[in-house]
Structure formats: structure tokens, C-alpha cells
């Protein structure tokens, strides 16, 4: 019942009202709403989605008894389910379809209604207003409009926010750079790798005072954040966490000091499953407000952890830690668990390393080889980079260093020209070629 009331309120309220209320919701209201919405979503999905009807029947799950995610025990919706049966998830007539990137011919397909996209835009606009963005700001949306989702979602956010803006799409960064002074844009949104290219242009040709740079859809290297902020004369760098499957933003950085992403607990229940001792495990989410294609306990393949320690910014929402890597990118090699964030920490403060890198594990005979592929800027000496990489491993990951010192595996370095490692939109950071 509470969920219906909150839903009605959200449909009438503007993003300003949602932003005003963002830090005033007591946790018990959030939790009560989430549980109520979860119950309704499960019953609704069972009634209208062929996929959930079939799976719950197969597993003898009585939806009337399901109150919270843990009641579903080890039931999860897997990425392969969406790849193979996307249309079986549809509960009501969609207006739009989005696809995940990839060239395998087996893309994930996600359907949504216009009403749902407007609602997502409203919540995004609310989180931006809460985080210090004003209606008088001017935003350029440089996210891709091509097949997948962030361009359209950012467009919806712009419509709801009341800001002035431009739907540039993922064009040559020079096109956006040259328009910043013309239209007095002070917020730029795009993918981190694209934002890095834009910032390189500003570093070379002169910068403008930006208020915010907002990235999403891939990880932002730590080193890039401080450099970007400096180049753009103190711009604040914010990241959002979302996926094609989630359609809406699952979690966002409200302020620089937040240390993690606040989970949108009105629209999602996020769980961490198979967590290790450090609390890190796989991110699983349930959509609470989608009615075209609801997803129940969807395994999003990212590794993170949740903290419920109250944030200084005042938001009552739990926080998701910075994504450590992909569940399918975790490599057990060289005497330990290796994940992308670890290498990001090793490379982050080394001058001369450009944004992209990739680690490939190979076998040379029976010897394990860790091949470190790095894009380096022109004129940088390989030996200098090598020394710094080893020094950082020694001080930051002593266990890994120990294995290197006793030569459990060999380390090869391969240097590349900036911009040549990536051939697809997403660059796989860790690759295991030992088998
Ligand atoms: Zn916060």
C-alpha cells in the first residue's frame, strides 16, 4: 500500500520536490516501501511475464509467500536469460528497446515504456539537483545515442531538469570542445574515455570553468579524476552506476565526499551475493518500479560491496563501493585473486601512462606470464615506467610482489601508442589465455 502511495506521489511531484525530500526520508519508510514494492513486483511478474511464470512454476515458488529477496533463496535472473528470452520478460506493451553493446550477435535486449523513461529522467534530475546542479546550468550530453541507453536517458534527465542543453551524442570531442564557449555549457556528460579525450583537448588548447563533469557506463581511473578537475578549473567529477539492464541509474555519487554511490532505494533493491570476507561480492538488483520488463534478482556481473554507515552528505541511502571489476573478469592467477581495480591502483599515479591498459595471462611452456599492456604517451621511456610499476606493486600489493620476487611468474611489458588498445566500446581489462 505504501508503495502505491509513494508511486502516486512520484508521478505528481517534480524533480525539485524529490530532491528536497531526498535526505528527509527515514530509513524505515524506505525499507517498508522497498519491501512492499518488491512483493508487488514479484506477483506482477509472475502474472504477466512468461519467463517468471515458467521459472517460478519449475522451481515450485509460491509467489504469495515471497516477501523479500532472500525468500527466493538461490533464484537469480542471469544475463543469459535476457540474451535468450528477452521477449518472454515483457509484461506490457513497450515503446522502446535498448541493446547492450557487443558484436557477438547475442546482445541483451531491454524494453521500456516512455512513462518509465520519464520517471528515470525525473529521478536522475532529482539526484543532480540534490548534488548541487541548478536549473540555470547548461548541459551538453555527449553520451552515445547509438542502440544502447545512456544518450536517451541523459536526454530524459535534461528534459526533466529544466536546464538548457544540447543532445550532441558521442561525436568527435573537438565538436563539443568548440561549442562550450558558444553556448556557455558548464556541465558535460559522457563516457570516461571520451571525457579524457575532451580534457586532453582542453589541456592543449585552453580550458573553460566547468562546474560538473559526469561520467558513466565505464570506470573512471582515479588519476583521471584529479587531472580532469584541475584542467577544467575545479570542475567536480561525478560518476553514476547503471547498466542497459537496469535502464535507470542504480546508484550515484551525490557529492565528491560521498565515498561510493548512493543506491536509489526507491527504484531498486540491490544485494551483494557470494561475498568474500571483505564484503565484496556480485551486485544483484531487483527493479521496483518497472512494469514493462521487471527484473528480479538480476546478476549484473559487477563486483562491489554495500555499506550502510550513514553518509555525511545526509542522504539516508546505502552506498555501493566503487566497482572492483567484473565477475567474469576476476582472474585467479599468479598466486592470488586479481581484479581490474588492483591494476588501476598500481597505474594511477604513474606519469606517462595514458588511459587504457590490459593485462593478459599466458603460458610460456609451463611458466605463467603476466603480460602488462600499457598505452604510454609519446617520448616516455619504457624502463622508467617499468620501475615505477614495480615500485607501486611492492608498496601497494606486497603479496603480489612476493610472488614476483620469487619469480612464480614472469612479467612482460608491451607498450602501445595511446588509443590503439581499444577496438570495441568496452575494453576487457584482464584476460586469461592460459588454457
Ligand atoms: Zn553521500
Q: What domains sit in the chain, N to C, each tagged with a CATH number?
A: 1-324 (3.40.50.12780), 331-432 (3.30.300.30)
38 CA distance to ligand 1 centroid (A)? Answer: 25
Contact call for residues 352 and 299 (beta carbons, < 8 A)? no
284 CA distance to ligand 1 centroid (A)? Answer: 21
316 CA distance to ligand 1 centroid (A)? Answer: 8
pLDDT in tens, the chain (435 residues): 789 999 999 999 999 999 999 999 999 999 999 999 999 999 999 999 999 999 999 999 999 999 999 999 999 999 889 989 999 999 999 999 998 865 455 788 999 999 999 999 999 999 999 999 999 999 999 998 877 788 999 999 999 999 999 999 989 999 999 999 999 999 999 988 889 889 999 999 999 999 999 998 777 777 788 999 999 999 999 999 998 999 999 999 999 889 999 999 999 999 999 888 789 899 999 999 999 999 999 998 888 999 999 999 999 999 999 888 777 777 776 656 787 888 888 998 898 888 789 999 888 887 788 999 999 988 888 899 999 999 999 998 887 888 788 777 789 999 999 888 887 767 888 888 887
Name the CA dihedral angle for 6, 217, 161, 295, rounded to a multiple of 10 degrees.
-20
Contact call for residues 64 and 39 (beta carbons, < 8 A)? no
Best CA proximity match to 198, nearest among 182, 214, 184, 183: 214
Using alpha carbons only, give the angle 253, 258, 262 rounded to the nearest 5 degrees. Answer: 50
To the question of pTM greater than 0.85 for the whole model, the response is no
Best CA proximity match to 382, nearest among 371, 391, 374: 374
Cα within 13 Å of Cα(60), Cβ side: 0
Q: What is the 3-state secondary structure (H, E, C) of 76-138?
A: CECHHHHHHHHHHHCCCCCCEEEECCCCCCCCCEEEECHHHHHHHHHHHHHHHHHCCCCCCCE
Give the long-range contacts of residues 248-251, CB within 8 A, separation 24 or more.
248/119, 248/120, 248/123, 248/124, 248/153, 248/287, 249/120, 249/123, 249/124, 249/127, 249/153, 249/216, 250/283, 250/285, 250/300, 250/320, 251/319, 251/320
168 CA distance to ligand 1 centroid (A)? Answer: 30
Phi, psi of 216 (to 5 degrees): -170, 180
203 CA distance to ligand 1 centroid (A)? Answer: 30
138 CA distance to ligand 1 centroid (A)? Answer: 24
227 CA distance to ligand 1 centroid (A)? Answer: 23
Element (H, E) at 199: helix 192-205
198 CA distance to ligand 1 centroid (A)? Answer: 28
285 CA distance to ligand 1 centroid (A)? Answer: 20
CA distance 304 to 307: 10
Q: What is the 3-state secondary structure (H, E, C) of 350-370?
A: CCCEEEEEEEEEEEECCEEEE
- Based on DSSP, count helices (H) and strands (E) in the chain, helices before strands: 13, 21
344 CA distance to ligand 1 centroid (A)? Answer: 24
Would you give the distance in Å from CA 250 to the centre of its chain?
8
First to last CA, the chain: 54
| β-bridge partners, 370 | 361, 411
C-alpha cell at 399: 603479496
* Greatest Cα-to-Cα distance within the chain, rounded to the nearest angstrom: 66
Spatial CB neighbours of 269, under 8 Å, sequence gap ≥ 6 = 34, 38, 69, 285, 286, 288
312 CA distance to ligand 1 centroid (A)? Answer: 6
17 CA distance to ligand 1 centroid (A)? Answer: 19
Helices (H), 22-85: 27-48, 50-58, 79-85
252 CA distance to ligand 1 centroid (A)? Answer: 9
Q: What is the DSSP string of 219-254?
A: ---HHHHHHHHHHTTS-EEEEEEE-TTT-SEEEE--
237 CA distance to ligand 1 centroid (A)? Answer: 14
122 CA distance to ligand 1 centroid (A)? Answer: 19
181 CA distance to ligand 1 centroid (A)? Answer: 32
21 CA distance to ligand 1 centroid (A)? Answer: 15
Spatial CB neighbours of 84, under 8 Å, sequence gap ≥ 6 = none
C-alpha cell at 304: 562491489
The angle that helices 222-231 and 340-347 make with each other, rounded to 10 degrees, is 50
Amino acid at each position: 500500500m505504501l508503495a502505491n502511495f509513494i508511486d502516486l506521489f512520484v508521478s505528481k511531484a517534480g524533480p525539485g520536490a524529490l530532491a528536497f525530500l531526498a535526505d528527509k526520508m527515514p530509513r524505515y519508510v524506505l525499507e517498508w516501501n522497498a519491501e512492499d514494492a518488491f512483493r508487488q513486483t514479484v506477483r506482477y511478474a509472475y502474472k504477466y511475464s512468461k519467463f517468471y511464470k515458467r521459472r517460478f512454476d519449475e522451481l515450485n515458488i509460491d509467489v504469495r509467500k515471497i516477501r523479500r529477496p532472500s525468500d527466493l533463496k538461490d533464484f537469480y535472473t542471469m544475463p543469459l536469460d535476457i540474451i535468450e528470452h528477452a521477449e518472454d520478460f515483457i509484461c506490457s506493451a513497450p515503446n522502446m528497446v535498448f541493446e547492450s553493446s557487443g558484436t557477438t550477435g547475442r546482445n541483451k535486449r531491454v524494453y521500456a515504456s516512455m512513462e518509465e523513461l520519464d520517471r528515470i529522467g525525473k529521478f536522475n534530475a532529482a539526484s543532480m539537483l540534490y548534488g548541487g546542479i541548478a536549473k540555470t546550468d547548461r548541459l551538453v550530453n555527449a553520451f552515445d545515442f547509438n542502440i544502447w541507453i545512456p544518450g536517451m536517458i541523459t536526454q530524459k534527465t535534461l528534459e526533466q531538469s529544466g536546464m538548457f542543453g544540447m543532445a550532441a551524442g558521442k561525436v568527435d570531442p573537438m565538436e563539443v570542445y568548440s561549442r562550450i564557449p558558444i553556448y556557455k555549457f558548464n556541465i558535460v556528460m559522457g563516457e570516461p574515455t571520451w571525457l579524457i579525450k575532451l580534457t586532453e583537448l582542453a589541456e592543449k588548447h585552453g580550458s573553460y570553468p566547468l562546474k560538473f563533469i559526469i561520467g558513466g557506463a565505464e570506470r573512471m581511473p582515479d588519476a583521471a579524476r584529479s587531472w580532469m578537475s584541475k584542467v577544467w578549473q575545479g570542475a567536480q567529477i561525478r560518476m553514476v552506476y547503471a547498466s542497459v539492464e537496469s535502464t535507470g541509474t542504480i546508484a550515484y555519487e551525490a557529492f565528491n565526499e560521498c565515498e561510493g554511490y548512493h543506491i536509489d532505494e526507491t527504484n531498486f533493491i540491490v544485494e551483494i551475493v557470494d561475498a568474500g570476507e571483505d564484503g565484496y561480492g556480485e551486485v544483484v538488483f531487483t527493479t521496483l518500479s518497472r512494469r514493462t520488463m521487471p527484473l528480479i534478482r538480476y546478476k549484473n556481473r559487477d563486483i562491489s560491496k554495500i555499506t550502510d554507515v550513514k553518509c555525511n552528505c545526509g542522504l539516508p541511502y546505502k552506498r555501493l563501493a566503487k566497482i572492483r571489476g567484473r565477475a567474469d573478469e576476476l582472474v585467479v592467477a599468479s598466486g592470488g585473486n586479481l581484479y581490474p581495480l588492483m591494476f588501476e591502483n598500481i597505474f594511477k599515479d604513474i606519469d606517462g601512462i595514458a588511459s587504457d591498459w590490459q593485462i593478459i595471462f599466458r603460458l610460456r611452456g609451463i611458466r605463467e606470464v603476466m603480460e602488462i599492456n600499457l598505452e604510454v604517451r609519446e617520448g616516455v621511456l619504457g624502463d622508467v615506467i617499468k620501475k615505477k610499476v614495480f615500485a607501486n606493486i611492492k608498496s601497494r600489493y606486497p603479496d603480489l610482489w612476493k610472488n614476483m620476487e620469487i619469480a612464480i611468474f614472469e612479467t612482460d611489458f608491451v607498450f602501445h601508442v595511446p588509443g590503439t588498445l581499444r577496438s570495441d566500446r568496452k575494453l576487457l581489462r584482464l584476460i586469461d589465455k592460459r588454457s
